[in-house]
Amino acid sequence: MKKLINDPADVLKEALQGVAAAHADRLTVLTEPNIIIRADAPVQGKVALVSGGGAGHEPLHGGFVGMGMLDAACPGEVFTSPTPDQMLAADKAVNGGAGVLHIVKNYTGDVLNFEMAAELAGAEDIEVEAVVIDDDVAVKDSLYTAGRRGVGATVLAEKICGAAAEQGKSLAEVAELCRRVNANARSMGMALTSCTVPAAGKPTFELGAAEMEIGVGIHGEPGRERKALAPVHEVVEMLAAPIVDDLPFASGDRVLAFVNSMGGTPLIELYIVYNELNQFLSARGIEVSRNLIGPYITSLEMQGCSITLLKLDDEMTALWDAPVNTTGLRWGA
Amino acid sequence: MKKLINDPADVLKEALQGVAAAHADRLTVLTEPNIIIRADAPVQGKVALVSGGGAGHEPLHGGFVGMGMLDAACPGEVFTSPTPDQMLAADKAVNGGAGVLHIVKNYTGDVLNFEMAAELAGAEDIEVEAVVIDDDVAVKDSLYTAGRRGVGATVLAEKICGAAAEQGKSLAEVAELCRRVNANARSMGMALTSCTVPAAGKPTFELGAAEMEIGVGIHGEPGRERKALAPVHEVVEMLAAPIVDDLPFASGDRVLAFVNSMGGTPLIELYIVYNELNQFLSARGIEVSRNLIGPYITSLEMQGCSITLLKLDDEMTALWDAPVNTTGLRWGA
């Protein structure tokens, strides 16, 4: 196993120490339980956004804590759900009196633990709504998941709903918006190589030198099919066609196109993917009016990419463009 | 070779098409010859900054074109110097009457071609100054280079000098500042795996499953030594001790600590590296007052990292903090 780590058991702890040391001006990192919160939390009167999940997908979620996005992130061990006590601690730390939205990726452990946390928070008079993200069209009912998996749309929902919360929307409004983002977003990913979970010490799955996995999950879960390597032109077709057909996206739609690295694929390749995706969509009359290109929801050092398309309306577009100040996404007005 | 590409011969062309399609609102991508320029170039009365080098190091340099950083980037084919005609075309496109600064990484081909371009530009009455960046303490005189190689300090010089140019400094002042950044910065990198140049189709070098290369160059050039894999605590010591001893950095210094991914190493590992580096520096009384953590000067999909330290003064700190709006680095006032 080739990784820049010490003891595999200390990966999360030491990464969080690094985050704390690097970003003390803007983030507070608590331990026992582990949560990352905005340094200015709680923001009084604002709906608070809490997300979380297993580590190994950085910058998701800790890198999206800050003005205009999340108020807190709950990191579990690598590819392991955080616990209800983390989520409850996060809710209590960031609730500014306007309630808390849980943004939950659809994995069985995450969903159950966030449900329990919501009950516990309710018992302490914190109003909680939860939205489960399930945008991955690759498979239904896979390892770790009943129904579709939650992947790239999570990043977009956190940005768009974070902006809405910042503008003073109510908990019901922000939750409704989050459901709308999820309903209008579809994703699919692929892997050229497996990742290696530090505690396991060996690749999660085996892929031959001339093989790729189409529809892979962000923990290396099996996808739709194992295929021979193909030019990226064909790979993009394999990912984008099922996405576009599923919603469906139609001619005249404006979309946000998100091309994501699984962690080990560099930017130069992502731009080639984007070029193919843009041509694919243009040919179908779909206009890319916003884009996001980079490693935002990763699977450790896995090589590969995912594509997420979100059908935009004017409100979502304006919220996407609104200022954000996190370590992972940052722009001004 | 596992990459998201079509024909290896088309990698640069298609990546530039992707950049053009994604960022038409802020960048203009020209072909024949290939240059990436600010959409608002030339900025009248402002010193223009031009850099460039082989592709494969993204976001360097094209991702650093924009307000507060570069005016133009000249991308060569992967790991291949751009040509003087590209640089001349860039100089002519972005010169706003206040002259042009060439920021050149110290590789023989880049240096020669930028020198020739400066002569050609001079013949067209464009005032050009050039600063060669040579911050890599790993080796002297290596493959492709006489003297030390130019690596991570390039990113910092482009940011800091870009801010100075934006504030109206003269060409002589911006060039002097660039030399000062270079003189106060030191770097060293390491590789866990090799990269594969698309046109070559096989890894640039061979590393055993239990080996790493300390002092590697950003094109996979040999480093100081091949060593057995070690915990990141020891790896950081191997990189940081030669850096700190070289300038030297001393107790009481304030530094910008830049932890860079070689392309295939994910963010979670970079934060563990940063944690170790911060502790190493604290133990020597060196204060990290600014940091940059992520993939900013990469070597295709190589796994590994580099560390750059820049001794800061008040002017450099203020210029680092100044607004920047590029696709690779972006923040407000």
pLDDT band of A325, cuts 50, 70, 90: very high
Q: Do A4 and B273 touch (CB under 8 A)?
A: yes
Top pLDDT among B204 and A223 is at B204
* The pair of three-digit structure tokens given for residue A200, joined into one six-digit string: 């396991």
B193, B255, B267, best to mutate vs chain A, most A CBs in 10 Å: B267
User: Active site residue: B23, B57, B61, B102, which one?
Assistant: B57
Residues on chain B touching A3 (C-beta within 8 angstroms): 192, 269
Q: What is the pLDDT of residue B173?
A: 98
Residue A250 is predicted with a pLDDT of: 96
- Residue among B14, B209, B272 whose CB faces A15 most closely: B272
Query: A267, A317, A320: which to substitute to probe chain B, counting the most B Cβ within 10 Å?
Result: A267
pTM: 0.98
Q: Which of the four pLDDT bands, split at 50, 70 and 90, describes residue B216?
A: very high
Q: What is the CA radius of gyration of chain A?
A: 19
Q: Which of A3, A211, A233, A268 to mutate to test the interface with B (most CBs of B within 10 A)?
A: A268
Average confidence score pLDDT of chain A: 97
Q: What is the mean predicted confidence (pLDDT) over A206-235?
A: 95
Average pLDDT over residues A75-79: 98
- A219 carries an active-site annotation: yes
User: For A139-151, how does the pLDDT look when each residue is reduced to its tens digit (9 = 90+)?
Assistant: 887 777 889 999 9
Residue of chain A minimizing CA distance to B7 = A231
Q: B213 to chain A: which residues are within 8 Å by CB?
A: none
CB contacts of B21 in chain A (<8 Å) are 274-275, 278, 288
Query: How far is B318 from chain A, CA to nearest CA, in Å?
Result: 16
pLDDT above 70 (res B333): no
Least Cα separation, residue B116 to chain A (angstroms): 28
- Split at pLDDT 50, 70, 90, the class of B282 is very high
Environment class of B246 (CB within 10 Å of its CB; exposed 0-12, middle 13-18, buried 19+): middle
How high is the pLDDT of residue A333?
A: 58
Strand extents, DSSP E, B86-209: 100-105, 128-133, 185-191
pLDDT at B300: 98
C-alpha closest to that of B281 among B313, B317, B303, B257: B257
Radius of gyration of the CA atoms of chain B, in A: 19
Report the pLDDT averaged over residues A216-240.
Answer: 95
Q: Under an 8 A CB cutoff, do B264 and A301 touch?
A: yes
Confidence (pLDDT) at A90: 98
Checking if the pLDDT of B275 tops 90, the result is yes
Cβ-contact B146, B107 below 8 angstroms: no
Tokens for B236?
A: 């950081």
| Average pLDDT, rounded, for chain B | 97
Please say whether the beta carbons of A217 and A149 come within 8 A: yes
| Closest residue of chain A to B55, computed from CA coordinates | A268
Query: Nearest-CA residue of chain A relative to B59?
Result: A267
Please state the rounded mean pLDDT for residues B79-98: 98
Interface contact B267-A59, CB threshold 8 A: yes
Catalytic residue among A61, A102, A219, A233: A219
pLDDT score recorded for residue B146: 85
pLDDT tens per residue across span B90-136:
999 999 999 999 999 999 999 999 999 999 999 999 999 999 999 99
Segment A82-103 shows an average pLDDT of 98
Residue B143 has pLDDT above 80, yes or no: no
Mean pLDDT for B294-313 is 98
**Residue in chain B lying closest to A231 (CA):** B6
String of DSSP letters for B47-80: PEEEEEEEESSTTTTGGGBSBTSBSEEEEEEETS
List, in sequence order, every beta strand (DSSP E) within B206-268: 211-214, 225-228, 254-261
> Is it the case that residue A327 has pLDDT exceeding 70?
yes
Note whether A274 contacts B21, CB cutoff 8 Å.
Answer: yes
Mean of pLDDT values over A88-116: 98
Summarize the confidence of residues A271-284 as an average pLDDT. Answer: 98
Contact residues, chain B, for A331 at CB < 8 Å = 330, 332
Backbone torsions φ then ψ of B218, nearest 5 degrees: -80, 0
Instruction: Identify which of A2, A14, A233 has the shortest CB distance to residue B193.
Output: A2
**Number of other residues whose CB lies within 10 A of the CB of residue A31:** 10
Q: Minimal Cα–Cα distance from A120 to chain B, Å?
A: 30
pLDDT tens across B295-304, in order? 999 999 999 9
Is B20 in a helix, a strand, or coil? helix
Residue of chain A whose alpha carbon sits nearest to that of B208: A2
Gap from B274 CA to chain A (nearest CA, Å): 6
pLDDT class for B200, splitting at 50, 70, 90?
very high
Interchain pair A22, B266: CB under 8 A: no
> Given this model, what pLDDT does residue B144 score?
77
CB within 8 Å: A4 and B300? no
Is the pLDDT score of B62 beyond 90? yes
pLDDT in tens, B152-166: 999 999 999 999 999
CATH of B8-183, one of 3.40.1670.10, 1.10.10.10, 3.40.50.2300, 3.40.50.10440: 3.40.50.10440
Contact B273 A59 (CB under 8 A): no
Quick check: A158 and A319 in contact, CB under 8 A? no
B57 is catalytic: yes
Q: Across the interface, do A305 and B59 touch by the CB < 8 Å criterion?
A: no
Report whether pLDDT(A152) > 90: yes
Amino acid B210 reads A
Looking at B61, B102, B219, B233, which residue is catalytic? Answer: B219
Q: Which residues contact A277 (CB under 8 A, 6 or more apart)?
A: A236, A240, A257, A259, A288, A307
E strand or H helix that includes residue A315: helix A314-321
CATH fold of the domain at A185-321: Hypothetical Protein Tm841; Chain: A;domain 3 (3.30.1180)
Of A23, A57, A61, A102, which residue is the catalytic one?
A57
Chain B residue numbers with beta carbons less than 8 Å from the beta carbon of A264 are 263-264, 266, 301, 303
The pLDDT value recorded for residue A222 is 84
Domain boundaries defined on chain B: 8-183, 185-321
CA A7 to chain centre: 27
Mutation target vs A (from B5, B12, B271; most A CBs, 10 A cutoff): B271
Task: Answer whether A18 sits within 8 Å of B273, measured CB to CB.
Answer: yes
What is the average pLDDT across A143-168? 95
- Please state the rounded mean pLDDT for residues A30-54: 97
CB contact under 8 A, B298 and A231: no
Is the Cβ pair B21, A301 closer than 8 Å?
Answer: no
Chain A to chain B Cβ contacts (< 8 Å) = 176
Residues of A in contact with B2 (CB under 8 A): 192-193, 209, 212, 229, 303
State residue B285's pLDDT score.
98
